[in-house]
Amino acid sequence: MAGLFGTLSIALSGLGVSQQELATSSNNVANANTPGYTREVAEVAAGAPVTLGSFNEGTGVVLQKIESLRDPLMEIQLNQETQQNSSLNTQLEQLQQMQTQFSSSTSGIGADISNFFNSLSQLSPDPSSIELRQAVLTAAGNLAADFNSAANSLGTQKSDLNLTVQQSVGAVNTLTSEIAGVDQQISSLENANQDATTLVDQQTSLIRQLSALVDVQVVQTGQGGIELATSNGTTLVSGGQSFALTTATGTDGNTDILAGTTDITGTLTGGSLAGTIQIRDQEIPGVLSQLDQLAAGFSNAINTANGLGYILSDSIPPTLGGNIFTTPPAGGTGAAAAMQVAITDPTLIAASLDGSEGSNGNLANLSAVATTAVAGNQTPIDAYSDLVFQVGSQTSNTSADVDGSTQILQQLQDERGSISGVSLDEEAANVVQFQTAYQASARVISTIDSMLADAVNLGIDTAVQ
């Protein structure tokens, strides 16, 4: 390739490659703030040399490909940490909502228990006072109402989470359908040896969104194809086809997640779906069970104590007291939601132990419930305090886990940015470099053009233009 035409060909190759490098940098700059975009670089190599006698002469530069800079291992780590972080954030949000039911020190069940026993103490000096007896019933009614409110709030939260599960499954199906469609396009382009970089970025972004919803594993199948499955092996995308999840109401009233006919609800380990199910199926039932046991134990203990004394009446013989609270359901399940004051007549409070009108002996039995183990071998206040502590501790621990996970996720995102992100300073330097190379190639072409004109015009009086 010796001679001016060979040199011209070399300069033209440099001109073309510099144009492509400039275009690549321009595309990077334009997408610097595009979520999920992966920085591109133009890979170039020296053209195959030609042999002239005993010398090898270069033939210019060749653009091999435009490559996106991505680290597959980093993408896997980001997906996994996104699943963990999303699950923890969902749990924290729900735990904080649950905690609002038990956070007040001046109102709520704990304060109501104290107020109930205080009303008994106030009745003790004057057990015949209808006004003070009515205060006891009012305190009992406030306690029952707060038990009802807490239980109903937890039930409403659980119902809302069932709706969230349905919505999340719908979002999962939408994303897997989109991922399958993009996967088909990528496979088609790569099978035709065409660039699918933009589509790969789009697919990666969609998988990251899916990771925020459910634990998902990505397997590359070659020719751009992928397979997606949950951690328990449930296939979501394969061969460019998506497999939708469905929901159904289980025998316990919860919304279950099905893959075909298989219930996979309890096998999900990451994403907001797993966090939602953890709160719905573990945390809320646990708190509600403790609340029910406390309500049942307290009601039974007070009813038993009231049955040991006599009501305020002049009947002969004196009448034993009955239940102050309605009888809890068998086993205690649902006791908090069903708790009600069983009487409206304040004279039915059995303050007397011997049947005489001015006796207050049985108030000691009623007051003794405050120091009696009624639930989990604990007194009413201790049992409720333990419940509050557990909810607060779980919320605090989850908050710490969220902070740790968020830091790890941010670190991974920063590391990905250093590999795949666009640095405007770096691209600006590249543009100057590519521009200079372009100008140099253009100068060579201009020089060759001038030299060719001189060669053509050798020996001619009138120059040929």
Phi-psi region of 224 (alpha: psi -120 to 50; beta: other; left: phi over 0): left
Which of the pair, 74 or 458, is modelled with greater confidence? 74
| Mean of pLDDT over the chain | 91
Of 442, 305, 281, nearest in space to 364 by CA: 305
* pLDDT (0 to 100) of residue 52: 73
Share of the chain above pLDDT 90, in %: 65
Q: Rounded to 5 degrees, what angle do the CA atoms 441, 15, 69 make?
A: 125
Q: Which of 90-104, 222-236, 447-461 has the lowest mean pLDDT?
A: 447-461
Collapsing DSSP to helix, strand or coil, 159 comes out as helix
pLDDT tens-digit readout, 307-319: 999 999 888 889 9
* pLDDT (0 to 100) of residue 462: 58
Tell me the mean pLDDT in the region 52-69.
Answer: 80
* pLDDT (0 to 100) of residue 444: 85
Burial class (CB in 10 A: 0-12, 13-18, 19+), 23: middle
* pLDDT (0 to 100) of residue 347: 95
* pLDDT (0 to 100) of residue 290: 95
* pLDDT (0 to 100) of residue 192: 79
Q: What is the CB-side half-sphere exposure of residue 106 using CA atoms within 13 A?
A: 0
- HEC readout, 64-133: EEEEECCCHHHHHHHHHHHHHHHHHHHHHHHHHHHHCCCCCCCCCHHHHHHHHHHHHHHHCCCCCCHHHH
Q: Say how far residue 364 (Cα) sits from the centre of its chain.
A: 52
Share of the chain above pLDDT 70, in %: 97
pLDDT tens-digit readout, 230-256: 988 999 999 889 999 999 999 989 999
pLDDT higher than 70, residue 461: no
Which of the pair, 268 or 197, is modelled with greater confidence? 268
pLDDT tens-digit readout, 179-232: 999 999 988 888 877 878 888 899 999 999 999 999 999 988 866 688 999 988
Which of the pair, 300 or 40, is modelled with greater confidence? 300
* pLDDT (0 to 100) of residue 370: 96
Tell me the mean pLDDT in the region 29-43.
Answer: 89
Tell me the mean pLDDT in the region 316-345.
Answer: 94
pLDDT tens-digit readout, 380-401: 999 999 999 999 999 999 999 9
Tell me the mean pLDDT in the region 332-347.
Answer: 96
pLDDT higher than 90, residue 273: yes
Paired with 262 in beta bridges are 259
pLDDT higher than 70, residue 1: no
pLDDT tens-digit readout, 131-163: 999 999 999 999 999 999 999 999 999 999 999
Tell me the mean pLDDT in the region 435-443.
Answer: 88
pLDDT band (50, 70, 90) for residue 429: very high
pLDDT higher than 80, residue 6: no
Output the six-digit token pair for 337: 């939601």
Collapsing DSSP to helix, strand or coil, 370 comes out as helix
Amino acid identity, position 340: Q
Domain ranges of the chain: 4-69+422-456, 77-410
Output the six-digit token pair for 449: 């053009």
- DSSP structural state of residue 61: E
